[in-house]
Amino acid sequence: MSTDKLTRATQEPAWVRVALLTIGLGFLFFFLGLPLVAVFVEALAQGLPAYLEALKEPETRSAIWLTVVIALAVLPFNILFGVAAAWAIAKFDFKGKSLLITLIDLPFAVSPVVAGLIFILIFGAQGWMGPWLADHDVKIIFAVPGMIIATLFITFPFIARELIPLMQSQGKDEEEAAVSLGASGWQMFWRVTLPNIKWGLLYGVILSNARAMGEFGAVSVVSGHIRGETNTLPLHVEILYNEYNAIGAFAAASVLALLALVTLVAKTVVEWRMKAETDMLNAELPGEKTS
Amino acid sequence: MPSPSRRVLPGFGLALGYTLVYLSLLVLLPLGGMVLKASQLGWGQILDIALGERSLAAFRVTFVSSLLAASINAFFGLITAWMLVRYSFPGKRFVDALVDLPFALPTAVAGITLATLYAGNGWLGSHLEPLGLKVAYTPLGIVVALTFVTLPFVVRTLQPVIEDIETEVEEAAASLGASRWQTFARVIFPAIGPALLTGFALAFARALGEFGSVIFIAGNLPLVSEIVPLLIISKLEQYDVLGATALAVMMLAISFVLLLTINLLQWWAANRYRNSEPLEVAAGKAQGVSA
């Protein structure tokens, strides 16, 4: 049959398929699967009690706490910036828009170490604002505020990057309808825009949160590594590892690895929800929408 | 001049103003400040620092290992993306979600885990070292760490493009007498070429600046296995702020060139085919809205 011939011509021979699957899955096994398993195996190498004991260390606890504090501190800034930037870029036309988008992408291309350094040059002892800060007894570098600022630099693009294409694809008909029916700007935002972008926003929050909690390079440069004070969990992993405290290091690392797994699951669930909603919309008449 | 449609929706001035002020404070001023600081040195001196023996070696190590890692990912990423789009196998959704692990797993965790796996007594190192292949604490270790960290880029850039290839095109090629290999080499590969290059460039750009995962496995021997971000930090720790700044400015210039290249590549890819991918591939992939 000619269809059979076509199928053969548009699909790889069976042995090629098996070979490609073996290579692909083998690559992922050695580079992703094995490291993921190894984190937990190393953490539990001396049994569960030793693992739990390692997590009870006060310095590990304070590192977990600081990681959460920094992640929570940057979140409102990132949400506000992401929504504002996406609103301006997706719903309006103006000159220099593509330059602005490139600027938002910049932190993805800048080395985290450079990102930390630029804030040392501003707030550090010999930096532009250093003497003034010293006079007023404000500590930013080698203290939590500097770590928050560095994390902001690293994470601010995630939500904007997520919302811009989403809001562009949604167009502005619904918002224009709301405004022409007399809705105020805030009413339009809370009742029309926000429900439309909620999944995309959540997706961006998940991505930026994972990065905020896991950031190492930028935070490391500005932290000063003061134990119990400016140690986030990733930085604490480094300290314990360099002290040959393998159980402690991998116990702390396993907490971060669990966080990564939760991130992946949450991300996948949100992806399904977004896809389901898009499919539902596509099935309806264009322009119509259920709340 | 604002067009009538611009006036219908509120908040343009507020959103754009906030975006610009925020970007200026967080990105433009700090980066500008760094360039200004470096200009105290003069370009001749910056080049002298960057071309010194130790920095030159660091740049070479960073570039070569990033190129190798991006190439490894281009090859295996193509196979992985093809496998994930075209073949069905048990656990495919799980494998697909797992590909994003390097984006979610903090780099320090990846670093200590890979170092442990590839060390002489590790799961992989104990099998590789008898073969004469020393990975941990050599430049090869840097390549392994960078391969892990940049793994998702090529896969996630290619997946939507491979999904978009119309099977009719392959059938046409086959019915005109092309073998499967000819169809791949002459029809499919040119179609996914720009995306493959974009993924490669994204992985390369990310690898150049990577710090956290590398330092644990590299051995960090000056002239041999020391990467540029680490050299910046060691200059900072020796209070050589100007030297660190000079290197950082070089890195920043390279980042700009790469960002420009990536934008051009994406523009090229988008103008050849209707789907364009935003820079943060992991983010863009989930949209599916434009479909």
Within a domain: A57: yes
Structure tokens at A140: 């930013």
Chain-chain contact of A157 with B280 (C-beta, under 8 angstroms)? yes
Q: Are residues A154 and A202 in the same domain?
A: yes
- Which residue of A21, A176, A233 is in closest CB contact with B89? A21
Whether A139 and A127 have beta carbons less than 8 Å apart is answered as no
Other CB atoms within 10 Å distance of the CB of residue B50:
19
Report d(CA A175, CA A167) in Å as an integer. Answer: 11
Say whether residue A187 is in contact with chain B using an 8 A CB cutoff: no
Q: Are residues A62 and A177 in the same domain?
A: yes
pLDDT digits (tens, 9 = 90+) for B108-148: 999 999 999 999 899 999 999 999 899 999 999 999 999 99
Burial of B107-122, coded b for 16+ CB within 10 Å and e otherwise, reads: bbbbbbbbbbbbbeeb
- Which residue of B27, B34, B167 is in closest CB contact with A10? B167
Q: How many CB contacts within 8 angstroms connect chain A with chain B? A: 336
User: In sequence order, what DSSP letters do the residues of B174-241 get, joined into one string?
Assistant: HHTT--HHHHIIIIIHHHHHHHHHHHHHHHHHHHHH--HHHHHHH---TTTS--HHHHHHHHHHTT-H
The chain B residue lying nearest A266, using CA atoms, is B97
Cα–Cα separations (whole angstroms), residue B215 to A56, A111, B144, B168: 27, 14, 12, 49
Which residues of A, range 194-233, sit inside 8 Å of B by Cβ?
A: 200, 203-204, 207, 210, 213-217, 220-221, 233
The alpha carbon of A228 is separated from its chain's Cα centroid by a whole number of angstroms, namely 25
| Tally of domains in chain A | 2
Q: Are residues A99 and A112 in the same domain?
A: yes
pLDDT digits (tens, 9 = 90+) for A10-61: 788 889 999 999 999 999 999 999 999 999 999 999 999 999 999 999 999 9
Q: Which of B115, B94, B90 is nearest to B212 (CA)?
A: B115
Q: What is the pLDDT of residue B67?
A: 97
Q: Which of B20, B251, B39 is nearest to A110 (CA)?
A: B251
Q: Are residues A101 and A235 in the same domain?
A: yes
Contacts of A162 in chain B (CB under 8 A): 280, 283
Say whether residue A175 is in contact with chain B using an 8 A CB cutoff: yes
- Which residue of A91, A104, A264 is in closest CB contact with B97? A264
- Which residue of A124, A220, A278 is in closest CB contact with B289? A278
Contacts of B170 in chain A (CB under 8 A): 9-10
Contacts of A10 in chain B (CB under 8 A): 167, 170-171, 174, 180, 183
- CATH superfamily of this structure's domain B41-285: MetI-like (1.10.3720.10)
Q: What is the pLDDT of residue A227?
A: 78
Q: Are residues A148 and A29 in the same domain?
A: no
Query: In order along chain A (291 residues), what is the average pLDDT of each group of 10 residues?
Result: 60 90 96 96 94 92 95 97 96 91 89 95 88 90 94 96 93 91 91 94 96 95 84 95 94 96 95 86 60 41
Q: Which amino acid does the sequence have at A59?
A: E
Contacts of B226 in chain A (CB under 8 A): none
The chain B residue lying nearest A38, using CA atoms, is B113
Q: Which amino acid does the sequence have at A234?
A: P
B241-272 and A112-123 helices, crossing angle to 10°: 130
Q: Are residues A156 and A132 in the same domain?
A: yes
Q: How far is A256 from chain B (nearest CA, A)?
A: 7
Contacts of B291 in chain A (CB under 8 A): 278
List the pLDDT tens digit at each of the 291 positions of chain B: 444 444 578 889 999 999 999 999 999 999 999 999 888 888 888 888 888 899 999 999 999 999 999 999 999 999 999 999 999 999 999 999 999 999 999 999 999 999 999 998 999 999 999 998 999 999 999 999 999 999 999 999 999 999 998 888 888 888 888 888 888 888 899 989 999 999 999 999 999 999 999 999 998 889 999 999 999 999 998 988 889 999 999 999 998 899 888 888 888 877 765 544 444 443 444 433 333
Chain A interface disruption, residue of B19, B114, B137, most A CBs within 10 A:
B19
Structure tokens at A97: 């828009």
Q: Which amino acid does the sequence have at B87?
A: Y
Q: Domain span at residue A21?
A: 13-43
pLDDT digits (tens, 9 = 90+) for A129-141: 889 998 999 999 9
User: In sequence order, what DSSP letters do the residues of B36-61 get, joined into one string?
Assistant: HHHHTT-HHHHHHHHTSHHHHHHHHH
Q: How far is B218 from chain A (nearest CA, A)?
A: 14
Question: Any idea what the Cα angle at residue A137 is, between residues A135 and A138, rounded to 5°?
Answer: 115
Q: Which of B78, B158, B45, B203 is nearest to A27 (CA)?
A: B78
Report d(CA B130, CA B138) in Å as an integer. Answer: 16
Whether A109 and B209 have beta carbons less than 8 Å apart is answered as yes
Contacts of A177 in chain B (CB under 8 A): none
Q: How far is A12 from chain B (nearest CA, A)?
A: 7
Q: What is the pLDDT of residue B166?
A: 85
Other CB atoms within 10 Å distance of the CB of residue A59:
16
Contacts of A213 in chain B (CB under 8 A): 106
Q: Are residues A209 and A248 in the same domain?
A: yes
Contacts of A109 in chain B (CB under 8 A): 205, 209, 255-256, 258-259, 262
B53-86 and B189-209 helices, crossing angle to 10°: 140
Count of CA atoms in the C-beta half-sphere (13 A) of A61:
6
The DSSP code for A287 is T
Interface confidence, given as ipTM, is: 0.90
Q: How far is A239 from chain B (nearest CA, A)?
A: 11
Within a domain: A219: yes
Within a domain: A101: yes
Q: Are residues A105 and A242 in the same domain?
A: yes
Q: What is the pLDDT of residue B142?
A: 97
Report d(CA A218, CA B233) in Å as an integer. Answer: 11
- Which residue of A94, A217, A259 is in closest CB contact with B212? A217
Within a domain: A6: no
Q: How far is A275 from chain B (nearest CA, A)?
A: 7
Report d(CA B30, CA A110) in Å as an integer. Answer: 13
Contacts of A174 in chain B (CB under 8 A): none
Contacts of A169 in chain B (CB under 8 A): 287, 289-290
Q: Are residues A61 and A32 in the same domain?
A: no
Report d(CA A86, CA A80) in Å as an integer. Answer: 10
> Counting beta carbons within 10 angstroms of the beta carbon of residue B181, is it exposed (0 to 12), middle (13 to 18) or buried (19 or more)?
exposed
Within a domain: A20: yes
Q: Are residues A27 and A68 in the same domain?
A: no
Chain A interface disruption, residue of B1, B20, B113, most A CBs within 10 A:
B113
Q: Are residues A35 and A176 in the same domain?
A: no
Chain-chain contact of B291 with A278 (C-beta, under 8 angstroms)? yes
- Which residue of A189, A210, A221 is in closest CB contact with B233? A221
CATH number, residue A243:
1.10.3720.10
The alpha carbon of B120 is separated from its chain's Cα centroid by a whole number of angstroms, namely 29
Whether B195 and B240 have beta carbons less than 8 Å apart is answered as no
> Counting beta carbons within 10 angstroms of the beta carbon of residue B88, is it exposed (0 to 12), middle (13 to 18) or buried (19 or more)?
exposed
Long-range contacts of A66-71 (CB under 8 A, 24+ apart): A66/A144, A66/A230, A66/A231, A66/A232, A66/A233, A67/A213, A67/A232, A67/A233, A67/A234, A68/A213, A69/A144, A70/A144, A70/A147, A70/A148, A70/A151, A70/A212, A70/A213, A70/A219, A70/A232, A71/A151, A71/A209, A71/A212, A71/A213
Residues B216, B220, B225, B229, CA torsion sign: positive
Other CB atoms within 10 Å distance of the CB of residue B38:
23
Chain-chain contact of B211 with A33 (C-beta, under 8 angstroms)? no
Chain-chain contact of A110 with B151 (C-beta, under 8 angstroms)? no
Q: Are residues A81 and A20 in the same domain?
A: no
Q: Which of B103, B135, B125 is nearest to B284 (CA)?
A: B103
Q: How far is A137 from chain B (nearest CA, A)?
A: 22
Query: Residue A84: CB partners within 8 Å, gap ≥ 6?
Result: B14, B15, B16, B18, B19, B22
Long-range contacts of A63-67 (CB under 8 A, 24+ apart): A63/A231, A63/A232, A63/A233, A63/A235, A63/A236, A63/A252, A64/A233, A64/A255, A66/A144, A66/A230, A66/A231, A66/A232, A66/A233, A67/A213, A67/A232, A67/A233, A67/A234
- Which residue of A105, A114, A166 is in closest CB contact with B279? A105
